[in-house]
Amino acid sequence: MSETTFSAVAVLCDTLARTASRREKIRLIKEFLLRLKEDEIAPAVAQIIGTIFPEDASTNLEIGYSTVKRISERKRQTTLFPAPLTILEVREYLNEIAALQGSGSRERKEKLLESLLGRAGSLEVSYIIRMIFKEMEHGVSEGLMLEAIAEAARVEPELVSRANMLSADIGEVARIAILKGRTELEKIQLVLFRPVKPMLAEMAYSIDEVFEEGSLWAFEYKFDGARIQIHMRGKDVRIFSRRLSDVTSSLPEIAELARELGVEEAVLEGEAIAVKDGRPLPFQELMRRFRRVHEIDAARMVVAVRLYLFDLLYRDGKTTIDMPYTARRALLAEACPSLLAEMVITQDRAKAEVFLKRALDEGHEGLMAKAPDSPYTPGKRGKKWFKLKPCGYP
DNA sequence: ACTGATGCGTC
DNA sequence: GTCGGAC
DNA sequence: GTCCGACGACGCATCAGT
């Protein structure tokens, strides 16, 4: 079996763009995946949905609109390679571009991209550029791709979805699902120091709106900061951002707090916010700290950062995401009583209103409302978590 | 050593 | 993060 | 209800050019 061309990916994407039906899109992708060679599955999946690199990888192309525009304005070089681009070659080009850094790297990135595009036909060029901007415009992103992978592998969509939540590498999930099947897929678990996608919340604008979806809710302050996920084994601590990048070095005082917990193994989740005199500072103040790599000590003096923890996803060898919120919360309280975000469980709307008013008075954004019996569903948005931001407030 | 252009990631 | 639109 | 695509403000990092 010969290697699959990138042209095949581009043609698939083009067909997807002209296909409205979800079912049909899924079928097209499934058929395509099943025809690929083993080592083509992961890169092809990434290329089709335009992600290119795993979500927790720090690799980046650093190619943007300006660079692409410059290349396209230059006279296109005639193709010197008679051989068509393959899926694997495109991946190699992009890996190489991402790996370049240091003096002269921008120019070399540009040249490398130019030579990649020079080897591509017009449809391929179009989709390579869409990949760079993550704007595939064919109506297929992670959700439909996961369904297609499930069909190709003949397993339940929930199993694929769960594996993807826990590994944050959809290409790898596809490879395992299709080549190894159910047993290996089920073995994908939360692994310490490999971040998982944070659970998401829906918007609500009033307490009443929340209580329409349930009678008992756990409320927490909604902090105006940045979501972080802390992985730790003893003194070994890594802090991950919402998009799973490693921000440990930017937040030394938070890493230190984690080390002092004296917890064997844990994955903790919380919010980092900038504070002064016990009051929260605007989000922009936190941004002066959040991804900083230079002069961190000086920045620490200017902007103090506080940590509020509100969830626990893993403890001493065991994943806790399937436990109800209240049970995870209890484990969290036991592991780190000092850093807990305040929480009120109630079915009383008036009590919730009082808590909301307090949150706003103290300078926070509003409340989070969480269903007490709900498991932690990484990367998912549903009616289990609400962010409650009343209109009319700043 | 400094400034501007470009790209990325947070909300 | 928000928003609207397609299914 | 869910997913997808298009959008904005802001601050920092890195590299290019002087």
Same domain, yes or no, for A179 and A299? no
Residue A194 within a domain: no
Give pLDDT, residue A56. Answer: 80
Residue with CA nearest D9 C1'? Answer: A284
Domain extent for A269: 200-388
Instruction: Choose the final residue of a domain: A186, A221, A253.
Output: A186
Q: Which residues in chain A, range 362-391, keep a C-beta under 7 Å from any nucleic strand D atom? A: 380-383
Q: Is the dihedral of CA A138, A139, A143, A144 positive or negative?
A: negative
Which of A132, A154, A186 is the C-terminal boundary of a domain? A186
At A313, which CATH number? 3.30.470.30
Asked whether residue A336 falls in the same domain as residue A261, the answer is: yes
Tell me, yes or no, whether A104 and A59 share the same domain: yes
Q: What is the pLDDT of residues A236-288, one digit of tens each?
A: 999 999 999 999 999 999 999 999 998 999 999 999 999 999 999 999 999 99
Quick one: how far is CA A140 from the chain centroid? 17
Judge whether residue A82 has pLDDT over 90.
Answer: no
Q: Annotated catalytic sites of A, by residue?
A: 222
| Coil, strand or helix at A191 | coil
What's the pLDDT at A72? Answer: 86
What does residue A104 show for φ and ψ, rounded to 5 degrees? 85, -5
Q: Is a pLDDT exceeding 60 seen at residue A393?
A: no
Question: Do residues A240 and A362 share a domain?
Answer: yes
Q: Are residues A310 and A384 in the same domain?
A: yes
Q: Let me know: does A243 contact A195? Beta carbons within 8 Å.
A: no
On whether both A108 and A209 belong to a single domain, the answer is: no
Q: Report the nucleotide nearest the CA of residue A272, measured to C1'.
A: B10
Nucleotides of C under 7 A from a protein CB: 1-3, 6-7
Give the residue, A7 or A57, on which the prediction is more confident. Answer: A7
The whole-number pLDDT of residue A58 equals 82
Tell how far CA A125 is from the center of its chain: 27
CATH of the domain at A169: 1.10.3260.10
Q: Whole-number Å distance, CA A133 to C1' D7?
A: 15
* Extended beta strands in A184-316, E state: 200-204, 217-222, 226-233, 236-240, 265-276, 279-280, 304-315
pLDDT-above-70 percentage for chain A? 97
Residue A388 burial (10 A CB sphere; 0-12, 13-18, 19+): buried
| Number of independent structural domains in chain A | 2
Residue A288 CB in 7 A reach of strand B: no
Residue A393 lies in a domain: no
What is the average per-residue pLDDT within A35-55? 94
Closest C1' nucleotide to A201's CA: C1
Residue lying closest to nucleotide B8, CA to C1': A62
- Strand, coil or helix: what is A230? strand
pLDDT of residue A318 exceeding 50, the answer is: yes
Whether the per-residue pLDDT at A98 is higher than 70: the answer is yes
- Looking at chain A, the number of H-run helices and the number of E-run strands are 17, 11
Grade residue A299 by pLDDT with cuts at 50, 70 and 90.
Answer: very high
Protein CA A143 to sugar C1' D2 (Å): 9
Q: Identify the residues numbered 13 to 72 in chain A whose C-beta atom is closer than 7 Å to any atom of strand C.
A: 20-22
Q: Is A193 inside any structural domain? A: no
Q: Is residue A54 part of a domain?
A: yes
CB A66 within 7 Å, strand B: yes
Dump pLDDT digits (tens) for A198-239: 999 999 999 999 999 999 999 999 999 999 999 999 999 999
Report if residue A372 sits inside a domain. Answer: yes
* Å from the A113 CA to the D18 C1': 27
Query: Do A124 and A178 belong to one domain?
Result: yes
What count of other Cβ atoms lies within 10 Å of the Cβ of residue A24? 12
> Do the domain assignments include residue A177?
yes
A176-193: average pLDDT: 96
Q: Is residue A66 part of a domain?
A: yes
Query: A218: burial class by Cβ within 10 Å (0-12, 13-18, 19+)?
Result: buried
How sure is the predictor about A81, in pLDDT bands with cuts at 50, 70 and 90? low
Residue A389, CB, less than 7 Å from strand C? Answer: yes
Q: What is the pLDDT of residues A333-371, one digit of tens each?
A: 999 999 999 999 999 999 999 999 999 999 999 999 999
A223 and A266 in one domain? Answer: yes
Q: How far is the CA of A393 from the C1' of D9 (A)?
A: 19
Residue A75 has pLDDT above 80, yes or no: no
How far apart, in Å, are the Cα atoms of A80 and each of A116, A117, A119, A377?
Answer: 11, 12, 7, 50
Q: Do A160 and A272 fall within a single domain?
A: no
* Together in a domain, A319 and A218: yes
pLDDT attached to residue A394: 46
Contact, A243 CB vs strand B, < 7 Å: yes
Of A157, A186, A215, at which residue does a domain stop? A186
Tell me: do A251 and A138 sit in the same domain.
no
Report if residue A191 sits inside a domain. no
Model pLDDT for residues A151-166, shown as the tens digit of each residue: 999 999 999 999 998 9
Q: In this structure, are A141 and A176 located in the same domain?
A: yes
Whether A314 has a pLDDT exceeding 60, the answer reads yes
Average pLDDT, chain A: 94
Tell me, in Å, how far CA of A95 is from C1' of C4?
36
Give the pLDDT of residue A78: 65
Q: Stretch A89-114: mean pLDDT, rounded? A: 94
Instruction: Say which nucleotide is closest to residue A134, CA to C1' distance.
Output: D5
